[in-house]
């Protein structure tokens, strides 16, 4: 299975709003498998379809230490959020080398579908809660650096553009 190319911030395609998945078919299963392989290869804990330039509500995650608990989430919808929020350091495969603090709900309940089209409620806490909120933002076209100050974001854009120029040479 091929590794997919991960869009790099500030690629404007990262700001595309994804549409719901409508067909739970072989194409979707292949895409999810390729996204998992790409995520493992890059050492990330989550990847949204937006990041591989497919604008459908599909996320893959694995927050286990052993990297052996893949989770595929289709059409996620948040149905409950905790009162409590928490600030954590986040990173993103689309913004390599950048880590910064983002405030998220401490826990969330998310209505999710699997690749067979079965729905369930995912009760996410700790790292899982952070990860799914981060990935669901991608599906809305939002990258975590957009929570940071304009000054920081400009600095990150410059740094990323410079790195991309150097890579191209
Ligand atoms: Ni990300």
Give the contacts of 67 (CB within 8 A, at least 6 positions apart): 40
pLDDT tens-digit series, residues 103-135? 999 999 999 999 999 999 999 999 999 999 999
Prior bond of 12 cis (ω within 30°): no
Ligand 1 geometric centre to CA of 148 (Å): 14
| Residue 167 confidence (pLDDT) above 90 | no
Task: For residue 22, count CB atoms less than 10 angstroms from its CB and return exposed for 0-12, middle for 13-18, buried for 19 or more.
Answer: exposed
Comparing CA positions, the residue from 54, 59, 51 lying closest to residue 75 is 59
Residue 34 CA to residue 5 CA, distance in Å, equals 10
Ligand 1 geometric centre to CA of 116 (Å): 25
Ligand 1 geometric centre to CA of 51 (Å): 8
| Residue 56 confidence (pLDDT) above 90 | yes
The residues annotated as belonging to the active site are 135
Ligand 1 geometric centre to CA of 92 (Å): 4
pLDDT tens-digit series, residues 14-36? 999 999 999 999 999 999 999 99
pTM, two decimals, is 0.97
Tell me the percentage of the chain whose pLDDT exceeds 90: 96
């Amino acid at each position: 299975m091929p590794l997919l190319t991960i869009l790099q911030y500030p690629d404007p395609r990262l700001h595309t709003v994804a549409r719901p998945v409508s067909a739970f078919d072989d194409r979707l299963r292949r895409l999810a498998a390729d996204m998992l392989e790409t995520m493992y290869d890059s050492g990330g804990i989550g990847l949204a379809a937006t990041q591989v330039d497919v604008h459908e509500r599909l996320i893959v995650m694995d927050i286990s230490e052993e990297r052996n608990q893949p989770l595929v989430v289709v059409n996620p919808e948040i149905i409950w959020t905790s009162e409590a929020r928490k600030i954590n350091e986040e990173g993103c495969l689309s913004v390599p080398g950048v880590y910064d603090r983002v405030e998220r709900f401490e826990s969330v309940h998310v209505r999710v579908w699997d690749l067979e089209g079965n729905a369930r409620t995912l009760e996410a806490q700790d790292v899982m809660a952070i990860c799914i909120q981060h990935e669901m933002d991608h599906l809305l076209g939002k990258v975590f650096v957009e929570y940071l100050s304009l000054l920081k974001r400009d600095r990150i854009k410059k740094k990323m553009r410079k790195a991309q120029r150097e890579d191209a040479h």
